[in-house]
Chain A
Amino acid sequence: MVNPIKSYKNTFIILIIILLVIGFINISLGSVHIPLKQILSSFFSGEVEKEPWKTIVLNYRLPKAITAIIVGSGLSISGLLMQTLFRNPLAGPFVLGISSGASLGVSILILGASFIGANISSYAFNNFGLAIAASLGAFLVLSAVMLAAIKVRNTMSILIIGLMFGSITSSVISVLAYFSTASQLQQYMFWSFGSLGNLSWKEITALLSVFIIGIVLVTFIIKPLNSLLLGENYAKSMGVNVKQTRNITLIATSLLTGVITAFSGPIAFIGLAVPHLTKLLFNTSNHKTLLPAVAICGAIIMLICDSIAQLPNSEYTLPINAITSLFGAPIIIWLLVRKRKIYY
């Protein structure tokens, strides 16, 4: 008997080809012009005309492209999980205050260092210190929103609560900023612009391992997430442990968002916009299709945003956050105007 549920095999193959092509284009662009042939040979044969080219490709551009892929996938998956869990198309790491939680953690580390003592500020430069602070912050705000969500059933109220937590954290950040020095402030500002570069292979390994833990957790909740589409009561009646599913979703989301925000700064709109774009492309709610689709689309869009941000053939690089918002916000507006109703 044939299973009539669409597998979208062809769409997936096309998307993976697009991902590879865009990944390659992303690596070939930058302030230094390197011929395509030389880029290929620096990957495979290792024989390059100029030695610095190899260094640029392997130690700067390739890590950045890999970071873009992880960041794009991770944030989009978090967005999709939030949208299903809260049954609200506007949910996402940003709206629910998770990203602000991560920002709070980082700001306490960078800006609050002066309160505790100058010794700590040397650790603040360390990306690993930032990662831990951001993850803790993200987890803290997410648990607070979750506690509120258990008390308040109405999903609209939960979103508003998330927004309120967001403004509480940003006001704490403002107070911290007011009392901190110009150099600390500058350091925090640069972090909040978002950046995909500057990661060493060691840091990418850390990012990648947390990402993989998150993805493994997510694969275990694909089945219950699908039944949650019919509402909590139906899910329960089909034997789903709703509480456990909710907890795993939250842990996976805070791991992914926390660690990504830590290493690359609070990147806006990817988490909110990519799931909607993907749903438009695939026209399904089935998480077995949506989760991998959202991961690939997120990676593609992040690579495109990064390619634009580095302003090809110039020495300037724009803050990645500016590009994602510039793209994301109009997409959401266009979606709402065109479709009027979003199904999740």
Chain B
Amino acid sequence: MKKDYEYIINTSKLSIGYTSKKHTNTIASNLDINLKPGNMVCLLGKNGIGKSTLLRTLTKVQPSLGGDIFINNSNLASITNVALAKTLSLVLTERLPDTSLTVYEMVALGRQPFTNWIGYLTTNDLKIIQSSFEQTNTQHLMSRKCYELSDGQLQKVLVARALAQNTPIIILDEPTAHLDLHHTINTFSLLKNLAKNFNKTIILSTHEANLALQVADELWLMTPTNFISGKTDDLILNNDLNQLFDSKLISFNKTLKQFTLKHS
């Protein structure tokens, strides 16, 4: 029988935050996530609510404060760095340091978890790199230097690098932060396409709530008191989105499926 994992990411009683010598700063606790593969998930929440902390904890960049995280049914704490690099790839919000690597070299770095000690690229590696350029429609940027790219181009090739890592999960921290509407929509539809046609599990944090509502299969909402996860349509029906911004100025319009300005 084929072994089929029901959940690709699954947490129980997860609490996240920071510890220092003197005290613990818990940002959120009792997070229960049950995510099936092939979904595109948008993580929504106000600035400073802990979206990055959650993503950093799920990707083992920082330790959790309590609870367990299971990726493909194995405990994240027991997964080695190399094994994790083969299941999960990242697109970070931090700026890329200045480097005169070419775009091709940068995307090729995504093959590192699979290459030998000196990083030799086999024909198979070259094929995967080629197809990640094709999937992101960035073949024309291959021989450019990374520092020459615009924000929109850079975002695409960073996604290409994550694709070259060929992992079932891709996690992106605010991939559309510096982009205009055109590039934002392009990025969203690229990611949606990857989830739908290539069965990738895509998790991204974003402030584009209205766009997220249109494309995401699932939403994770972080509010100061609560963490709500579920299918986008269910969350709309349950009026959960109203909790996202506890502001008198914003309300969620169920029929438009959009956040709107509240008229006084």
How far does the alpha carbon of A156 sit from the alpha carbon of B175 in the complex, in Å? 28
Contact digits for A2-32, partner B, Cβ 8 Å, 1 yes 0 no: 1111000000000000000000000000000
Distance of B256 from chain A, by nearest CB (Å)? 38
A285 pairs with B143, CB closer than 8 A: no
Q: Identify the stretch in A66-74, A223-231, A253-261 within 8 Å (CB) of chain B at 4 or more residues.
A: A223-231
Q: Which residues between 254 and 300 of chain A lie within 8 Å of chain B, taking CB atoms?
A: 279, 283-286, 288
Which listed residue, A1, A229, A233, A344, touches B92 by the CB 8 Å rule?
Answer: A233
Distance of A152 from chain B, by nearest CB (Å)? 16
**Chain A contacts to B: CB under 8 angstroms:** 1-5, 87, 219-220, 222-223, 226-227, 229-231, 233-234, 236-241, 279, 283-286, 288, 341, 343-344
Which listed residue, B61, B145, B147, touches A233 by the CB 8 Å rule?
Answer: B61
Which listed residue, A1, A229, A231, A236, touches B101 by the CB 8 Å rule?
Answer: A229
State whether A344 and B98 are in contact (beta carbons under 8 Å apart), knowing that A4-B142, A239-B84, A241-B81 are contacts in the complex: yes
Distance of A245 from chain B, by nearest CB (Å)? 12
Q: Which residues of A contact B119 (CB under 8 A)?
A: 222-223, 226, 288
How far does the alpha carbon of A285 sit from the alpha carbon of B104 in the complex, in Å? 12
Nearest first, the 10 closest Cβ-Cβ pairs linking A and B are A239-B85, A239-B82, A223-B119, A343-B100, A237-B90, A1-B126, A239-B113, A238-B112, A229-B99, A285-B100
Q: Which residues of A contact B92 (CB under 8 A)?
A: 231, 233-234
A284 pairs with B89, CB closer than 8 A: no
Q: Which residues between 70 and 109 of chain B lie within 8 Å of chain A, taking CB atoms?
A: 80-86, 88-90, 92, 94, 96-102, 104-106, 108-109
Q: Which residues of A contact B81 (CB under 8 A)?
A: 236, 239-241
Identify 6 new A-B residue pairs, CB closer than 8 A, beyond the known A4-B142, A5-B102, A234-B90.
Answer: A1-B127, A3-B126, A5-B108, A220-B117, A239-B83, A240-B81
**Chain B contacts to A: CB under 8 angstroms:** 59, 61, 80-86, 88-90, 92, 94, 96-102, 104-106, 108-110, 112-113, 115, 117-119, 121, 123, 126-127, 130, 142-143, 145, 147, 165
Q: Which residues of A contact B102 (CB under 8 A)?
A: 5, 284
Q: Which residues of A contact B109 (CB under 8 A)?
A: 226-227, 230, 234, 238
Q: Which residues of B contact A230 (CB under 8 A)?
A: 96-97, 99, 106, 109
State whether A238 and B110 are in contact (beta carbons under 8 Å apart), knowing that A222-B119, A223-B117, A286-B101 are contacts in the complex: yes
State whether A343 and B104 are in contact (beta carbons under 8 Å apart), knowing that A3-B126, A4-B142, A233-B92 are contacts in the complex: no
How far does the alpha carbon of A231 sit from the alpha carbon of B91 in the complex, in Å? 12
Residue of B nearest to A282 (CB): B100
Residue of A nearest to B90 (CB): A237
Which listed residue, B98, B110, B121, touches A341 by the CB 8 Å rule?
Answer: B98
